[in-house]
A = this chain, B = another copy of it.
Amino acid sequence: MTMNKSVNELDRVFNPRTVAVVGDKKEMGYMWLKSLSTFQGKLYSVQIDPNELAGIEALGVENHSSLLDIPEPVDYVVIAVPRAVTPRIVADCVEKGVGGVTLFTSGFAETNTEEGIRLQRQLTEMARAAGLNLIGPNCMGIFNPKIGVRHSPDQYAGEGGSAGFISQSGTIATFFGLAGALNGVKVSKSVSYGNAIVLDSTDFLEYLAQDEQTKIIGMYIEGLKDGRRFFDCLKRVAREKPVFIWKGGDTEAGTRATASHTASMAESPAIWQALMRQSGAIKVDNLDEMIDTAKLLLHAKPVAGERVGLVAATGGQSVAISDAFAKAGLRVPCLSQDSYQELASFFDIIGASYQNPFDVSSNLRSLENVLRILDILDGDENIDSVVLEFSIFLLARWMTGPQSLDGFLDGLARFKARSTKPFLTVLVSVHMEERASEVRHKLTQRDIPCFPSFERGAGALRKMVDYYRFRQAEGIPV
């Protein structure tokens, strides 16, 4: 049975004032001390190997030969020693009364070896008996950018976001933070928790549920220790904040992988699907879907309607965007007669069309025209969401100057500010990957969600609509 850790205790671990790293060394490139170089509080190292001391000193970190020698209380400890040594260090943590521990070390039950299984059992018993807040083993622990607690030197520090993330995988936690930031989905606090021998997903979900900085919660889960407790918690939390769940090990092959990765026991995919459907959690199948949908929930107006107004730059793309959104179960309706009347007054239909989808073609060359079209869709009672694609114009002469590009994007930002409906953009990079990244970045800065393909935009909108429909059906205020 996983213990129900109080929120207060986890708050100390997620917001430490003192951190100690046990066992970081040159062979690992001092990855932990370097990652924690941004930490706003006091950082200590614990290392007994005399050959490592000069390197640790060069990083400006105070070293002690034992956790117990650190002259103040320690809120958060990272243990990176060989597995055979871990019980001794965990015992020190208990004696020191630390706030919590990330056990980075791997080689436990997930290896399916006798020694690994024995050591994992020993650590579990020690930590539970002492009430130690142990994260892991076989994990990367906490990322709290606001106070500079990181687990990779690639992560950012200094500005927190509003997306909490709970991940059994360290790589996926790292990727979520990095790719999310690029998409306007910045992390408030995240945790990678590996084998989950003491603290499990439910503990972290309870913690982030009450964390004010956290507005949405993403989860990557390979298995649960206590399914009933998780479900009860999820049902409660998902009513308060959007919860995204990516279940790793969703297939027989994936389940074999989760056993080797975090020694997780697999529940059936059908159980997980029912659990998500009943709780109103948002089911995603990979990191892209997670970030795409989070981006929309954070940066688009809420909507429960399925009717989209689709504006593409050219004819082929107007067909492709319609197929993609229709295949996602969204509707592409005809507009109101008022809209058609207004469109007829200015829209050049040579090489273009406006039935919905729109093929705007040369009409896109004038920002005024584009905004007029978008405003018509925003005002049309048949339309719930507005989508704009303009990939071809990456290639066009008039976008080569930064001024005209910025002017165009500023116009879109003004539309977004005055619009009442979700507004999505799609920009296919074609062969101009760098240029497309730059434009997507500019859109993110303007708080406009942008997707790299029709399918991804459509998939995210579908999930957002389903989320708000669930809330509507349950009578939960949007």
Binding site for B on A (CB under 8 A): 29, 83, 106-107, 110-111, 113, 138, 152, 154, 167-172, 174-175, 178-179, 181-182, 220, 222, 248-254, 256-258, 260-262, 285-288, 313-320, 322-327, 331-332, 349-351, 353, 355-357, 359, 391-392, 395, 397, 428, 430-431, 433-434, 437, 453-455
Contact = CB atoms under 8 A, between A and B. Distances in A.
A431 B181 contact: yes
A244 B151 CA distance: 45
Given A325-B253, A350-B83, A319 B434 contact: no
B395 A154 contact: yes
A258 B433 CA distance: 28
B350 A107 contact: yes
Contacts of A168: 316
A430 B359 CA distance: 32
Interface of A is mostly: helix
Closest 8 CB pairs of A and B: A169-B316, A253-B332, A251-B326, A261-B315, A260-B353, A106-B351, A254-B323, A178-B431
Nearest to A330: B253
A154 B323 CA distance: 27
B254 A322 contact: yes
A17 to B, nearest CB: 29
Given A106-B351, A253-B357, A395-B152, A320 B430 contact: no
Contacts of A222: 319
B286 A453 contact: yes
B350 A318 contact: no
Contact of A286 (B110, B285, B392, B455): B455
Given A152-B395, A253-B332, A257-B355, 20 more contacts: A106-B351, A138-B315, A154-B395, A168-B316, A169-B319, A171-B314, A171-B392, A251-B327, A253-B325, A256-B355, A257-B359, A260-B315, A260-B318, A260-B357, A261-B318, A261-B319, A261-B353, A286-B455, A433-B434, A434-B434
How many copies of the shown chain assemble into the complex?
Answer: 2
A326 B433 contact: no
Nearest to A440: B433
Q: Which of A252, A319, A325, A434 gathers most chain B CB within 10 Å? A: A319
B350 A252 contact: no
Contacts of A327: 250-251, 285
A1 B310 CA distance: 34
A415 B54 CA distance: 41
Given A138-B351, A314-B171, A319-B249, A433 B433 contact: yes
